[in-house]
């Protein structure tokens, strides 16, 4: 499981011209699920994302987590994150989870996040989505579990 985590001032996701999820200050997470992932892996990555200290404290040091600041979370499924790009000029998606497993673990991840974060928004799994954001910093990390 892999996540691109972006600290944002605000972010939103549209499907068919309609906003389906939006947040204020917090994290935009693009979430990729691999075929060997399971709930244990999902829990590990979720805990890392929620506790990762990437927000500034009073001294402007990255010492606070999403939980510490009471921030919001926008989670968007993105299977292309688990692509193998090591050979040639075309990505291979053989490591990606099946749509069924991808949806199951994505929905599990979101449900678990809602236990710790007050405002969790999502995209629509498997849809063509347009994501807008104002990256704060910019601050972007790739996290894996």
Radius of gyration for the alpha carbons in the chain, expressed in angstroms and rounded? 15
Distance, CA of 142 to CA of 6 (rounded, Å) = 9
Beta strands 18-23 and 2-15 are: antiparallel
By annotation, the residues acting in catalysis are: 78-80
Q: Which residue has 């906003």 as its token pair?
A: 19
DSSP state of 42: H
Across 16-126, the runs of DSSP E, i.e. the strands, are 18-23, 26-32, 55-56, 62-64, 72-77, 120-122
């Amino acid at each position: 499981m892999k996540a691109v985590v972006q600290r944002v001032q605000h972010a939103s996701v549209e499907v068919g011209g309609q906003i389906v999820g939006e947040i204020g200050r917090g994290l935009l997470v693009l979430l990729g699920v691999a075929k060997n992932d399971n709930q244990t892996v999902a829990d590990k990555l979720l805990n890392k994302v929620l506790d990762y200290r990437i927000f500034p404290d009073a001294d402007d040091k990255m010492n606070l987590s999403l939980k510490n600041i009471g921030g919001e979370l926008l989670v968007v499924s993105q299977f292309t994150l688990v692509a193998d790009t090591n050979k040639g000029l075309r990505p291979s998606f053989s490591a990606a989870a099946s749509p069924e497993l991808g949806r199951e673990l994505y929905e599990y991840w979101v449900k678990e996040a809602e236990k710790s974060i007050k405002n969790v928004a999502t995209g629509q799994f498997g849809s063509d989505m347009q994501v807008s954001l104002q990256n704060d910093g910019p601050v972007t990390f790739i996290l894996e579990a």
